[in-house]
Structure 1
Amino acid sequence: MNPFRWDVDWNVLIYEIAVSALVALAAVAISYLAYRITFGLLKKITQLSESETDDLLIQNIRSPIKWSFIAIGITLAAQVDSGLGTVWEPLAQFLRPALLGWIAYNVVKASVATIEARLESYDDPVATRSRKTRIAVLSKIATFAIVVITIGLMLFSIPSVRAIGTTMLASAGLAALAIGAAAQPALKSLIAGVQVALTEPLRIGDLVKVDGDAGRVEEIKMGFITVRTWDERLLIVPTSRFLDETFENWSRVNERLTGPVYLHLDPIADVDPIREEFERFVKGHELFDGRNLALLMTEAYPESVELRLSMSARTIGDLWTLRCETREHMLKWLREHQPEALIRHRLELPGGHVKAGEPGAP
């Protein structure tokens, strides 16, 4: 017996397909018209507001909302036409969570753009970096959650995947242990990212020192943090490392720092004139902020002394420039006014060399 039926009325089938196609096209056209009318009204409403928040939100959700209108229209049409419903419903179960996830992602994206635009008007750089860091980390967490939930809902719309999920729930204990062991690094990075956002040991734009390299924090990801050094190298450091190990943050509260310049001189050096010249030069320098200025002899050895010349500036970059220029100036001044203070390697021979006085010596 032939299992295939060849007695199908092709005229009726073609007619039903044509009707379903026309119903779908009509639903798409009506939905698109409703979308244009709705967004036209929303655009007029947002033009009455001086805030840019609603404009960014409307601009970001425009595309997903358009396709959501079309999906809703086809869904309503499928309730009338059974043929269209037979084709559309399996697709709709897969597309609905995708559209919802798309909308949620764009809402997060618009919110982040709005908050960052507002931060541009802040005068406090430390507060700005703090808020940018929280926004960056929390937005990544929200995006990660949206993607995971959306993919999960899309997969569970497939009957075979749903059956596998039901079977896994029956053995939830073993599954939880296996998933927990496999996802331990990812969970550690996720928790570290949340901790960085809440406790703020470092922020975007902070100047930090890691493993002897100093640089600016450029990005804070869930799994790693990028640090740009002065020579344009990019350090990739795991996020958890900033919580587990010690590092230096030179701009945690502000960028006002005090930095030293060390001079190693001969013990014969006269310190008072050196101190006067140092204070005169730094006080007249445009980068000095007037907070800290001192010259101290921090070490004294049999063949040398160490002078620490400390000074302060408004920013870390200004302090670096001030230290370099002070070091160069003081060495030049010492060569011109106290050349005997500069350390030289000497070889003293009391009474002359023994062999120099012997007969026949050259």
Structure 2
Amino acid sequence: MRVSSTAHWLILAGSIAGVILLVELARRMLVRAGRKWDLARHLVERCTWPMFAVAATLTFSLGFIPSMLGISREELAVGAMIERVVEVASIAALTWLIIQASYAFTDLVMDRLVQVEGERNRRARRILTQIGLVRRVATAAVIIIAFGVMLFSFPQVRALGAGLLASAGIAGAIIGIAAQPTLGNMVAGLQLAFSDALRLDDVVVVEEEWGRIEELTLTYVVLRLWDERRLVLPVSYFTQNPFENWTRHGSRVVAAVYLRVDWAVPVDKLREELYRFIQDSPLWDQKDWTLQVTDVLPNGLVELRGLMSAADSASAWDLKCDVREHLVTYIRENYPDALPRFRIETPESRAGVPWRNGGRG
């Protein structure tokens, strides 16, 4: 019996080594194919270790028998326990491989979507967001199913199945109440993705903070702010609170610059200077611009508003800063009388008495 057991172990070890060698050969072939075939490259990146794990555990599970450890009751019990553990490990490895293979296929699609530019970029980002959320849902479903298969591989658990099903209604109600916030966030995440209200890389303003959507999951949203901070919000926030989406129908943005100056400002000259400046700026998209007097403020100043369009929000911000800086310098150097000033009316000035030495004659 000892010789037979040793032979079984040698055959099992040789089988595992042979299968691992075949997987390694397949990996090297995919590496070569990955130079021209993107899917092969993604499969190598995602599935190498899961495939090794599946090959080793499945081969061991198929080739191992409890009697290889001996025929005594204790040895058979240990062999049966090892067989059960390997069976569970095989299910876990196969689940890992399925998830990583699905990620490899979706990575291929997402890589192509990331490269889309121009007018089709908005639709590409919408599909990118939806694929990311769907594969997270699918991953969670596969893991739950795999966990159930692991549990029901034990005879004791199968024996308890009828009792568990009988109490499933009460347990489901309790779990539903306890997990209501989490389930609400998951539903809100799917609602945002498939209603096209929010997409990856969208420019939004939330809580007076400007930033881009960096990550959108089923439970939270990560907003990368303009100063590289990260604002993390629950998904339900975007379904319960108003927010600004600057790229809802396109990335083009109109920037506004406000100047408060004296009544002596030559508006026509300033309008000509604005047009001359933005014509030479690579940030202007050559479409919309204007300079208007929008208000006369109670403090006696005139409010001017300059509008310039840009291809995206980042360009609009830089263009707005450049225009403001240029116009301030232009007014200061060419029309100093138009700089902001506040006038005070006194009884003496109202009566026409010239101001001298504090208004005293």
> Which TM class, normalised by the smaller chain length?
0.7 to 0.9
Specify the code of the residue in structure 2 equivalent to 1:346. R
Pick the aligned partner of 1:65 from 34, 37, 51. Answer: 51
Call closer, same or farther: CA 1:287–1:72 in 2, change over 3 Å.
closer
User: Is residue 123 from structure 1 mapped to residue 120 from structure 2 by the alignment?
Assistant: no
Pick the aligned partner of 2:134 from 132, 138, 161. Answer: 138
User: Is residue 102 from structure 1 mapped to residue 96 from structure 2 by the alignment?
Assistant: yes
User: Is residue 297 from structure 1 mapped to residue 282 from structure 2 by the alignment?
Assistant: no
Specify the code of the residue in structure 2 equivalent to 1:33. G
- For residues 162 and 189 of structure 1, what CA distance do their matches in structure 2 show? 33
Tell me how large the CA RMSD over aligned residues is.
Answer: 3.2
- For residues 358 and 319 of structure 2, what CA distance do their matches in structure 1 show? 54
CA contact (8 A) 1:24 1:74 kept: no
Pick the aligned partner of 1:151 from 122, 129, 147. Answer: 147
Residue 8 (structure 1) aligns with: none
Q: Deviations over 1:83-109 (max 9, x none)?
A: 576354422442232122111122123
User: Is residue 276 from structure 1 mapped to residue 272 from structure 2 by the alignment?
Assistant: yes
Q: Which moved more, 1:82-91 or 1:144-153?
A: 82-91
SS at match of 1:240: helix
Specify the code of the residue in structure 1 equivalent to 2:46. N
Pick the aligned partner of 1:261 from 257, 274, 299. Answer: 257
Long gaps (5+) in structure 2: none
- For residues 306 and 269 of structure 1, what CA distance do their matches in structure 2 show? 10
CA contact (8 A) 2:54 2:97 kept: no
Q: Which moved more, 1:248-257 or 1:234-243?
A: 248-257
CA contact (8 A) 2:61 2:87 kept: no
- For residues 320 and 76 of structure 1, what CA distance do their matches in structure 2 show? 64
Larger radius of gyration: 1
TM-score where L is the length of structure 1: 0.82
Alignment of 1:1-362 (within 5 A): 15=1, 19-20=4-5, 22-37=7-22, 40=25, 44=29, 50-58=36-44, 60-78=46-64, 86-124=80-118, 125-301=121-297, 303-349=300-346, 350=349, 351=351, 352=353
Call closer, same or farther: CA 1:172–1:22 in 2, change over 3 Å.
same
- For residues 171 and 256 of structure 2, what CA distance do their matches in structure 1 show? 58
- For residues 244 and 271 of structure 1, what CA distance do their matches in structure 2 show? 44
- The count of residues paired between Structure 1 and Structure 2 equals 345
TM-score where L is the length of structure 2: 0.82
Shift of 1:26: 1.3
Q: Deviations over 1:138-167 (max 9, x none)?
A: 222222222222223223334444455432
Call closer, same or farther: CA 1:231–1:26 in 2, change over 3 Å.
same
Shift of 1:187: 1.4
Residue 9 (structure 1) aligns with: none
Shift of 1:236: 0.6
- For residues 210 and 216 of structure 1, what CA distance do their matches in structure 2 show? 10
CA contact (8 A) 1:207 1:215 kept: yes
- For residues 5 and 141 of structure 2, what CA distance do their matches in structure 1 show? 38
Long gaps (5+) in structure 1: 1-14
Aligned-pair identity in percent equals 32
- For residues 144 and 195 of structure 1, what CA distance do their matches in structure 2 show? 18
Q: Which moved more, 1:326-335 or 1:57-66?
A: 57-66
- For residues 280 and 57 of structure 2, what CA distance do their matches in structure 1 show? 71
